[in-house]
Amino acid sequence: LRTTLLFLSPKEVYTAPDSCEGRCEEPFSEEDECHCHAECERSHSCCEDFHRHCRAEGFSSRRDAITDEDLLRVSEQLYRADHNKAQPSDVAINPQYQASPDETGDQEDRSPQPLYKYVNEKLFSKPTYASFIKLLDNYQRVTGREEDVTTEELREQDNFLKEVMKTELMKKLFAFLYEKNRYGSEQEFVADLKEMWFGLYSRSDGERDSSGFEHVFSGRAHTSWRVLGSTGLRKLTPGSRLSLGEVKKGKVSGFHNWIRFYLLEKQGIVNYFSHNFDGPWDTYPDVLGLQFSWDGFYKEVGSAFIGCSPEFEFGLYTLLCPPRCHLSLGGYSLSIQTYTWTKSTYGNGKKFIATAYIISS
């Protein structure tokens, strides 16, 4: 009896589950963490290094790959198409103290006045603003509890999507993604927006208790413990209702929307401390990196577009560029951080939005 030994290289034996190295055109499998087949870009399920390893043949053609140059071009298009943004006379902010990198973690209120001196609330009567604001009170329960989405809340989601899709900004975004063969029709695009942003997934205990829209724009408390200054911790009761950003270990995470911040600061719920970054823009949208507290919780370094329309943020983050990508707004560069939720998918392996925010430094 003759035995033949076949020696395989480590690369042939094992490929990283979160990489496309050696996996280009691999058939779709629900068990994979990410994908490298020809349709993965359309389903937003590609591995982070898909373009590096599979760009030439990874999608239907080289022309369909979204390049860094494409992202710079389309972000400028969306910036110019934000016709619903605030005008300089609509919003006045008072940044006050600028914190150094060593000071952002001090939890010291160095700005005695609110961040927003004035906001023209007539902005909020515009259809995209009004439909956006109606969504904000749908997400106020702590994590770990199944989200009870009512028929009215589903209508509010549909109405928001209907209103934003009327705008030139979202039409330009769809045209770009259609050109890149990501969607075959506007109807398909809107259906996917609803799933990726409003589809529920679990951030704790297996309960479908969170969504991308909730985390990025509205937020909730991630923990059942609430920090009360120096007096220690008090456990929240099951009926306690919270709003704003996700909370981890006594600190706020998430919460990147200027409208949400303004409304809560007006109610006295948010206390602005300082800022560590003020963008170079002399009109809106502008970018601010800031520190604040909310009812005892602290945000060490937050970031927000100031004065943009809801559709601008929604559209820009929908680009779902690689985890960190470089964009251009009004001739100035900025970076966006995006993450998809990797623990569950919808449809044919498509991924929900986990978080998205501007990098302010």
CB 317 within 8 A of CB 356: yes
User: Does 44 lie in the same domain as 163?
Assistant: no
Last residue of one domain, picked from the residues 37, 57, 77: 57
* 134 contacts: CB under 8 Å, gap ≥ 6: 156, 159, 160
Q: Is 27 helix (H, G, I), strand (E, B) or coil?
A: coil
Task: Supply the pTM of this predicted model.
Answer: 0.77
Give yes or no for residue 240 having a pLDDT over 60. no
Cis peptide before 285 (omega within 30 of 0): yes
> Domain count of the chain?
2
Could you tell me which residue, 327 or 249, shows the higher pLDDT? 327
User: Does 103 lie in the same domain as 140?
Assistant: yes
Q: For residue 256, what pLDDT band results from cuts at 50, 70 and 90? A: confident
The pair of structure tokens assigned to 285 is 């949208």
The rounded radius of gyration (Å) of the Cα atoms in the chain is: 22
Predicted pLDDT of residue 117: 98
Give yes or no for residue 361 having a pLDDT over 90. no
* Residue position matching structure tokens 């030994």: 5
pLDDT, one tens digit per residue, over 296-308 is: 788 888 899 999 9
**Which range is most confident: 19-23, 60-64, 187-191, 321-325?**
187-191
133 HSE (CA, 13 A, CB side): 17
The two counts, helices (H) then strands (E), for the chain are 10, 12
Per-residue DSSP letter, 204? B
Is 7 inside any structural domain? no
Predicted pLDDT of residue 146: 53
Give yes or no for residue 245 having a pLDDT over 70. no
Give yes or no for residue 4 having a pLDDT over 50. no
Active site (catalytic) residues? 215, 256, 299
User: Does 73 lie in the same domain as 34?
Assistant: no
Residue-averaged pLDDT of the chain: 81
Is 277 inside any structural domain? yes
User: Does 342 lie in the same domain as 264?
Assistant: yes
* Backbone φ and ψ of 40, nearest 5°: -65, -35
Task: Return the CATH number at 38.
Answer: 4.10.410.20
Predicted pLDDT of residue 178: 95
pLDDT, one tens digit per residue, over 182-221 is: 999 999 999 999 999 998 887 666 666 678 888 788 765 4
pLDDT, one tens digit per residue, over 108-154 is: 999 999 999 999 999 999 999 999 999 988 655 444 455 567 899 99
